[in-house]
Structure 1
Amino acid sequence: MYWPTSLPLLCSSLLPLVGGAFAQGDKHYAIMDNDWYTAGFVPYLIALDGDVDVLALASDTCDTWQPQAALHAVATLEAGNLSCIPVYPGSTWPLINTPLRFQAWETIHGKLPWQGAFAPYNATYEAEGNDPTSGNPNRIVKSAFREGFPKGKPDNSTSAANFMVEMVHKYPGQVSIYSAGALTNVALAARMDPQFASLAKNLVIMGGYVDLNMLQATGSIMQADYQSDINLMMDPEASKIALTADFPEIIVAGNVANQVFPTQEFVDEIKKAGNPYSELFAKYYDISFPFWDETAAALMVDPSLAINKTTVYIDVDISYGSPNYGNVHVYQKALAPAGIRNVTYVFEVDADKLKQRIKHSLMHPKSCADL
């Protein structure tokens, strides 16, 4: 069992109990866990712009291997003078899944249009400046750092999961755990400390699509890509652990994350700001994809952006022999199986307000001088 180093001080630092839960302080903290990449900085800019104190970034294996993602986090923070925010490396490996196991599942149940870090190794693809997949998870492809290769390194003094546990004990009821990649680190924290989830403010995830199988079959390959739940499928067992943990609230930005797309006009307007982040965004953000991670980050900052949501009970299929391995299934309370919990499932967001938040965060980014 994990015990935080600050445990003897906990009794004096706990906030008063109100209605069975910790009273919320005015300060909102966040730990932001993601498979970071060149243009992946927008979520933490949204958080900072919304007066959320970002305690750290955490890295995970999803679109690429964790070590590469961690260095992208360091590099993008450096690009905007935000190196005061530490980066803690997460788990390089999912709890069970491996590229070989993932690819064997695809042989039986069909290929995914996007396979993330578990796509077969492709030396030519990497030589063209793309993040590594399969092979040695510790290799670094420097040519993929279009934002510039970082001068600094991740903080290896502790792991992402350890840091999450320590911070929810330090700031009970005030720390959002944001996950827009695989949920491995969140699951590890939940297993390390039985109080972890209950002491957090909430868990906000990007992923958890429902009722999209027909679109995957009849739409284009690109549409099928939009509906591929790689964040959960990379580590299904961790997804189940995280989504059944006793967080005070879990906010799921699933299908809604495919709702709002950037336009070239939107990008061109942001570029006029002329700062490092607006220029990187204009140059490298792929406008063929929706605001996936940004939608979840904005909901973490301002839950009122959700204009259509419901409460459902959610489970993750962890049967390796199932074609739905790593996908979610939702229930109403009366029909839910034992051992699962309710989540806030967002169906629709205010698209204009979301784009305004994204635009403002990029055109007026905060730096360490502001924090």
Structure 2
Amino acid sequence: MSMSGFTRFARRCVLMAGLLGVSVPVMAHAEADRMVIFDDDGFALAQWMVLKAPHVKVMGFATVSGDFWQKEATAYALRGLEIAGRTDVPVVQGATYPLMNSEKLTDRWEALYGKLVWKGAWMKKWVENTTQALPPYHPADVVPDLPWGNPKLKPSPENAAMFMIRMVHQYPGQISIIECGPMTNLALAQKLDPEFASLAKELVYMGGSLNPRQKLTSAASAQFAREFGNSPRREFNIRFDPEAASITMHAPWKRIVMVPVDPSTETEMSAEFVKDIASADTPIARIVKRSANNFPLWDEIAAAVWLDPSLIRSSTDLYVDVNTMFSAQYGDILSWTEGYQPDVGEQKEKVVLTVDVPRMKALIKDLISKP
């Protein structure tokens, strides 16, 4: 029996009992859905996890430039929803460019301070040989053919910042925001509406880096570890738009959970892992089977700890900000323990240090296997 059918049946039973003068216990309401908006510069396993999780209502997917230009990220989100059979969820387009950073400024920075391992939409070539394929370099208004097929679904006409503002006003204190890309949309929303962050339930974001260490022995893991060894506070999502990250981190959120690079060094989107989690014959699993790129599970960790906070093995509370000076440390994370922060609006964040990787993998497999 469907839930709506069950509800009608229950109401008829209560009505009949009333007519017969029989008292019946009042049934408890079903567990309320958790509301979430996912803001990202792409669409993959993390989004599908949240879509397929029980008792979760995805209010929308917002897109922003980062790993891909915003228009390409939008195309991936639309196609991802088609594959999942969830065309009821809106995709709203966000910022195309960072608030102040740019490709030319990044080229200038590299000429002064050395090469970046990853530049997202601005990436033309790897600095060294690597197992990962290089996304095709193209202008912001070009959307190449997607490997999953091109979407027929169209995005919402609403702007991402305005959409998020509208949602937190419509559902005050109920909307969680999972941010797995640069924070440009969040900064714009906060500047447009100073109440924005305070009306949300929480912000969970993947970004930043404290002091990660190589945990795996693969070539891909070693490549990322070389960057961490020399620049432990640098991470792409924050580095792409440092000013937006600083604005967002100073906003009055009720709760902020930071998922830095640190816990991801125990994870990898390896062929073995993909084969295990995509064993089911579902539309999503068939796409995931082709997704072994050997990158760490950055966004998946953020989605997983939002879905199940008990996956967090260790964490710490820190005040966090971003270096926005155009220097060798531009975009690096700044952090302080209680009492040491400058106290100019920094917010306390719960910083995830390690997660239960076996349980997280089991959660991913369970969600991806669902029909």
**TM class by shorter-chain length?**
0.7 to 0.9
- Decide whether aligned partners of structure 1 residues 213 and 308 sit closer, same or farther in structure 2, where only a CA change above 3 A counts: closer
Alignment of 1:1-371 (within 5 A): 26-37=32-43, 40-46=44-50, 48-120=52-124, 131-133=135-137, 136-142=139-145, 145-156=146-157, 158-212=158-212, 220-224=222-226, 229-254=235-260, 255-286=262-293, 288-320=294-326, 322-339=327-344, 340-365=346-371
Cα offset, 1:361, TM superposition: 1.2
What is the rounded CA distance, in whole Å, between the counterparts of 2:355 and 2:70 in structure 1?
30
SS in 1 for 2:39: strand
Residues 297-318 of structure 1: per-residue CA shift (max 9 Å, x gap):
1111222211201111111000
Highest Rg: 1 or 2?
A: 2
Q: Which amino acid aligns with 2:94?
A: G
- Decide whether aligned partners of structure 1 residues 69 and 225 sit closer, same or farther in structure 2, where only a CA change above 3 A counts: farther
Preserved CA contact (<8 Å) 1:310 1:346: yes
What is the rounded CA distance, in whole Å, between the counterparts of 1:297 and 1:132 in structure 2?
27
Identity within the alignment, % = 33
Preserved CA contact (<8 Å) 2:213 2:265: no
TM-score, normalization by structure 2: 0.82
Cα offset, 1:223, TM superposition: 2.4
Q: Which amino acid aligns with 1:183?
A: M
What is the rounded CA distance, in whole Å, between the counterparts of 1:199 and 1:258 in structure 2?
34
What is the rounded CA distance, in whole Å, between the counterparts of 2:117 and 2:197 in structure 1?
33
Residue ranges of structure 2 left out of the alignment (5+ in a row): 1-30, 127-132, 216-220
What is the rounded CA distance, in whole Å, between the counterparts of 1:182 and 1:65 in structure 2?
11
- Decide whether aligned partners of structure 1 residues 176 and 77 sit closer, same or farther in structure 2, where only a CA change above 3 A counts: same
- Decide whether aligned partners of structure 1 residues 163 and 262 sit closer, same or farther in structure 2, where only a CA change above 3 A counts: same
Tell me which stretches of 4 or more aligned residues in structure 1 moved more than 6 Å: none
- Matched with 1:9 is none
What is the rounded CA distance, in whole Å, between the counterparts of 2:334 and 2:212 in structure 1?
12
- CA-based RMSD: 2.3
Preserved CA contact (<8 Å) 2:271 2:292: no
What is the rounded CA distance, in whole Å, between the counterparts of 1:107 and 1:168 in structure 2?
42
Q: Which amino acid aligns with 2:324?
A: I
Residues 173-218 of structure 1: per-residue CA shift (max 9 Å, x gap):
1111111111000111111111110111111111110135999xxx
What is the rounded CA distance, in whole Å, between the counterparts of 1:222 and 1:79 in structure 2?
31
- Where relative contact order (Cα < 8 A, 6+ residues apart) is larger, the structure is 1
Which stretch has the larger CA shift, 246-255 or 266-275?
Answer: 266-275
